[in-house]
């Protein structure tokens, strides 16, 4: 496989790999390292990857496994937490503050979900993967993915309603 064929195969999903890494590792720098490491491994095994039915799902599975390994490693205690700020132009300061608060609350609620539900929310609602692909990446049946996603969304919705109605976290 030539370099250009390889790049044509893997470049369409490089941003998804990064965002998934960032969701799991939190740190932008760690996510960049994970993304780079993944593509290096894919390059080293470029002869084998064309045999996979869904290269993107395979790459996302590798990303998940790499991130879990990083989190389990001794270096995990050294991960820096860097939060990104939600930015929008053309809105009033009051609206910006409310949007920032809402986005922040949703991020906090997602972080409180069980790990599997967090990953499913990221893959489905952010990365727009199909249920079948998520099942393949996380080694779950489609019905399990649907149930976990439904429960995650329901939990977030209930907590948001509670937060907005009562101001309780």
- 29-56 pLDDT per residue, tens: 888 999 999 988 888 888 887 777 888 8
Architecture of domain 93-166: Orthogonal Bundle (1.10)
Where, residue-wise, is CATH 1.10.1740 in the chain?
A: 3-78
Residues 142-168, mean pLDDT to the nearest whole number? 85
Distance CA 169, CA 79 (A): 26
- 129-141 pLDDT per residue, tens: 999 999 999 999 9
Residue 32: which residues within 8 A CB-CB, separation 6 or more?
Answer: 18
**Strands, E, within the chain: which ranges?**
none
Longest dimension (CA), the chain: 59
Q: What is the pTM of this model?
A: 0.59
Question: Angle at CA 39, nearest 5°, toward 125 and 61?
Answer: 45
Q: Which fold has domain 3-78?
A: Rna Polymerase Sigma Factor; Chain: A (1.10.1740)
C-alpha to C-alpha distances, 96 to 19, 108, 157, 161, nearest whole angstrom:
24, 18, 21, 20
């Amino acid at each position: 496989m030539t370099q250009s064929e390889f790049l044509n195969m893997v470049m369409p999903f490089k941003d998804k790999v990064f965002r998934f890494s960032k969701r799991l590792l939190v740190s932008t720098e760690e996510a960049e390292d994970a993304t780079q490491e993944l593509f290096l491994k894919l390059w080293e095994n470029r002869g084998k990857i064309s045999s996979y039915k869904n290269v993107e799902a395979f790459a996302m599975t590798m990303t998940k496994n790499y991130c879990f390994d990083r989190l389990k490693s001794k270096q995990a205690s050294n991960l820096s937490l860097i939060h990104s700020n939600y930015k929008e132009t053309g809105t009033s300061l009051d609206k910006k503050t409310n949007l920032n608060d809402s986005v922040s609350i949703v991020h906090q609620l997602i972080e409180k979900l069980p790990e599997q539900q967090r990953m499913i929310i990221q893959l489905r609602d952010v990365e727009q993967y199909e249920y079948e692909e998520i099942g393949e990446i996380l080694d779950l049946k489609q019905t399990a993915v649907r149930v976990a996603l439904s429960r995650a969304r329901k939990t977030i919705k209930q907590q948001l309603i509670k937060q907005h109605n009562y101001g309780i976290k």
